[in-house]
A and B are shown apart, each in its own frame.
Chain A
Amino acid sequence: MNFGIAEIICQFLVGISRSMILFIVCAGLSFILGVLRVPNIAHGSLYMIGAFATFSITKIVGGTYGFWVALALAPFLVVLVSLVTERLLFCHLYQREHLMLLLFTFSVSLILGDLVKIVWGAEYRSVPPPELLKGSISILGASFPKYNLFLIIIGPLVGIALWLFTTKTKIGKISRAAAVDREMVGVLGINVSWVFAFAFLIGCYLAGVGGALVAPTVSITLGMDHTLIIEAFLIVTIGGLGNMWGALVGSLIFGVTHSFGVLFWPQFAIVFPYMAVVIVLLLRPKGLLKSVW
């Protein structure tokens, strides 16, 4: 196979753009894991709801701005679903054993999965990229979709926003503190339960954003939740639990190894991310970056 430098660059960029969506979703998962110590299996279902909601909103609003409106609103729908789940059910369980919380998020994912089927039916859905971002640009002769360029830009923006939020705002700092030592936070007179709720909603918001962003690039189907969740957990683990930058590193490893695997050894590209995880965990058993706990 002969590729020039153009193809390699394109491949690299495509890997990065895919990583960006993974990063956004995993940052949310990692955040929830860090603060609440709960592996949120329902994260995949929320991502799927984000994608389906984007489809519906884009369709209803229509026109050239449909997608942008959806991108803004769909994550809030996801937040609404998470809020209802959290206030009605989840908040009563914070004192419980971790395995029970795991069971809980699993049950929620089952329920949400079927709810999506009831609301949106079984058909494949598709959302076209917005007018602004249709088509591709030429990079040294190889074509690269404009929408992927958009993803490469927005990923770091979300990352920076998240970083600013957790280090500069009061609530962000409290969340980080609660991740490290929740007892202490409680002793300081802060309502830990509210902090948890808030962290959960932020994490779910990010899942919704991820779902909205992925919508124009793939077919939106039931089952999206399963394919995402296992990757998300692997990334979060190798990145370092609760560490946002870890989620970034993990996502990049996943996306880029996959892209290059495709180029050089397409037969086995599916195996590369798992191999990467095995190697990382054997060399650095606690993940690549510092884990919050």
Chain B
Amino acid sequence: MKRIFVLTSLCLFVIIMSIFLSPFSIKAQGPIKIGIVDTYSGPPTTYTYDVRDAFKLAIDEINAKGGVFGRKIEFTTRDDKFKVDICLSMAKELIMMEKVDILMGTINSAATLAVSEYCKAEKIPFIVTFSKSDKITGEKGHRYVFSVSENTAMIGKAAASGLAKRPYIKYWIAGDDYEYGHALADGVWGNLKKLKPEVQLMGQSWWKVGEPELTPYLTAISSAKPDVVIFATGGASMVNAMKAAKATGFAEKIPMFIHTATEHSTLAPLGLEAPEKVIGTSNYHFYYPDTPKNKAFVKAFKDAYGREPKVGALYGYLAAQFITKALIKAGKMDREKFIDALEGMKVDSPVGEIEMRAYDHQAMLPMFMGVTKKVAGYPFLIATDIVTIPASEVMPSIEEIKKARRQ
């Protein structure tokens, strides 16, 4: 027995020593450190790689010009594998060991909320890059969290505004059976009812997240014959929904609305097999608006990475711009000054000027509603008849935020 314990304690000692001696970062006048914790495994990767890559592109450009007040910006990433406990661990590692000045991340809403609480306690600025829960800057928002991504409240308002202008009365709601799906559906429906009280909800269908076989649901819905179906799906089921709709011919018979159906992440893998006439909303298209700024952004991204940027790239780019400009305005790497500077900050982007609303720390993003269509010259479908819904119509009012936060 004794020798086992000698051995075990020796091992423990070795481990502890080696940890002590491992290289750590020294916090002097070196580079400014940013940590990104996100999901780089599994289905979400198609989105998160774009966030990271666009961020890197923007930061490289800024560093080439000398960085901010003479200091370069460095960032390091961690993979949370879409698990909340690992995300928390990695976030803490970035903050306690890597000693990052600013934290960014993640696509998992539950993890974002958990890390947000931690950053509030540790007083570290946390920039949310892809999570869509409206609680992040709404009910659970606070001084230390900012979001450059749209959330379910904004999607709801934008979608409702677009749908109300169309002649549909009888609605069906279907989607992924989790918080994002329900919040999205509630957001759209709540706002739609306000804009157009005569709309009727005929029924709802909810399936498990990532459900591969959606045909039975589509069959059930088509038998009810609604005017239009709102699909509240996350990334995983999105492609499945589109495929099933194409295979059953559903999209031809009944109009569908899906948030991000028109987005390139969804349409790219389907190639020319995606269904047409699907109505969708998205924060970004690499072909719209056809401005010089957008064109330049797309070209730079494509040159660097060999693919067209998707919506994640916009968020990554915005994060880089906001961080850089706020730092320059603050004059030095001081977290409190950084936050003060970031509130109300306006930056230029491929979709126009974007403001970081001071009250709730939510970036005011416009939404684009379009319809999928096959267009010559592209090996995938794109969105046509694009209507821009400006940020002012999309953002929840400050009163609504106050109410949610009970302020």
- Residues of A near any B CB (own CB < 8 A): 1-4, 7, 10-11, 14-15, 18, 117, 122-126, 128-129, 134-136, 142-145, 147-148, 214, 216-219, 221-223, 227, 258-259, 262-263, 266-267, 269-270
* 17 A-B pairs with C-beta separation under 8 A: A1-B223, A2-B224, A126-B243, A134-B247, A135-B249, A136-B247, A136-B249, A143-B222, A144-B219, A216-B243, A218-B212, A218-B239, A219-B269, A262-B205, A266-B205, A266-B220, A267-B177
Contacts A14-B219, A128-B273 aside, 7 further interface pairs with beta carbons under 8 A come to A122-B41, A125-B269, A126-B273, A218-B239, A219-B43, A227-B210, A263-B216
Q: Is residue B392 contacting chain A, with contact meaning CB distance below 8 A?
A: no
Dominant SS at the B interface? helix
Q: Smallest distance from the beta carbon of A68 to chain B beta carbons, Å? A: 17
B247–A147 touching, CB < 8 Å = yes
Q: List residues of chain B with CB within 8 A of the CB of A129.
A: 247
Q: Which of B43, B177, B205, B215 lies in contact with A145, CB distance below 8 A?
A: B215
Report chain A residues within 8 Å CB of B238. Answer: 219
> How many CB-defined contacts (below 8 Å) exist between A and B?
127
Given A148-B215, A221-B236, A262-B217; A1-B203 close (CB under 8 Å): yes
> Is B207 a contact of A143 with CB atoms below 8 Å?
no
- Inter-subunit contact B270/A126 (CB<8 Å): yes
Nearest-CB residue, chain B, relative to A255: B213
User: Which of B203, B216, B244, B268 is the most central at the interface, judged by chain A CB atoms within 10 Å of its CB?
Assistant: B216
User: Number of residues in B with C-beta < 8 Å to the partner?
Assistant: 42
Q: How far is B25's CA from A201's CA once the two chains are assembled, in angstroms?
A: 50
Q: In this complex, which of A3, A124, A145, A266 has the most chain B Cβ atoms within 10 angstroms of its Cβ?
A: A124
Q: Which residue of B lies closest to A134 (CB)?
A: B247
Q: Tell me the nearest residue of chain B to A218, going by C-beta.
A: B212
Q: What residues of chain B lie closer than 8 Å to A222, measured between beta carbons?
A: 41-43, 45
CA separation between A122 and B177, bound complex, in Å?
24
Q: A218-B240, A269-B207, A270-B208 are in contact. Are A223 and B223 (CB under 8 A)?
A: no
Interchain CB contact under 8 A, A136 and B248: yes
Q: A143-B249, A219-B239, A219-B269 are in contact. Are A1 and B224 (CB under 8 A)?
A: yes
Chain A residues near B212 (CB-CB < 8 A): 214, 217-218, 227
- 8 Å CB contact of A126 from B203, B219, B235, B239: B239
Seen from chain B, the residues whose Cβ lies within 8 Å of a Cβ on chain A are: 40-43, 45-46, 49, 177, 203-208, 210, 212-213, 215-217, 219-220, 222-224, 235-236, 238-240, 243-244, 247-250, 265, 268-271, 273
B36 CB to nearest A CB, Å: 16
User: Which residues of A lie under 8 Å from residue B243 when comparing CB positions?
Assistant: 126, 216-219
- Smallest Cβ distance from B282 to chain A, in angstroms? 16
For residue A216, which residues in chain B have a CB less than 8 angstroms away from its CB?
A: 243
Closest 7 CB pairs of A and B: A122-B45, A219-B239, A218-B212, A128-B273, A145-B247, A223-B42, A270-B208
Indicate if the CB atoms of A11 and B224 lie closer than 8 Å. no
Q: Whole-angstrom distance between the alpha carbons of A4 and B236 in the complex?
A: 31
A267 surroundings in chain B (CB, below 8 A): 177, 206
B219: A residues at CB distance < 8 A: 7, 10-11, 14, 142-144
Q: A14-B216, A135-B247 are in contact. Are A262 and B207 (CB under 8 A)?
A: yes
The complex places the Cα of A222 from the Cα of B48 at a distance, in Å, of 14
User: For the complex, what is the distance from the CA of A216 to the CA of B239, rounded to whole Å?
Assistant: 11
Bound form: Cα–Cα A63–B143 in Å: 56
The residue in chain A whose Cβ has the minimal distance to the Cβ of B48 is: A122
Bound-state Cα–Cα, A275 to B265, Å: 36
A262 — which chain B residues lie within 8 A by C-beta?
A: 205, 207, 216-217, 220
Q: How far is the CA of A145 from the CA of B205 in the complex (A)?
A: 20
**Given A218-B240, A266-B204, A269-B207, A2-B223 contact (CB < 8 Å):** yes
Q: Which residues of A contact B239 (CB under 8 A)?
A: 124, 126, 218-219
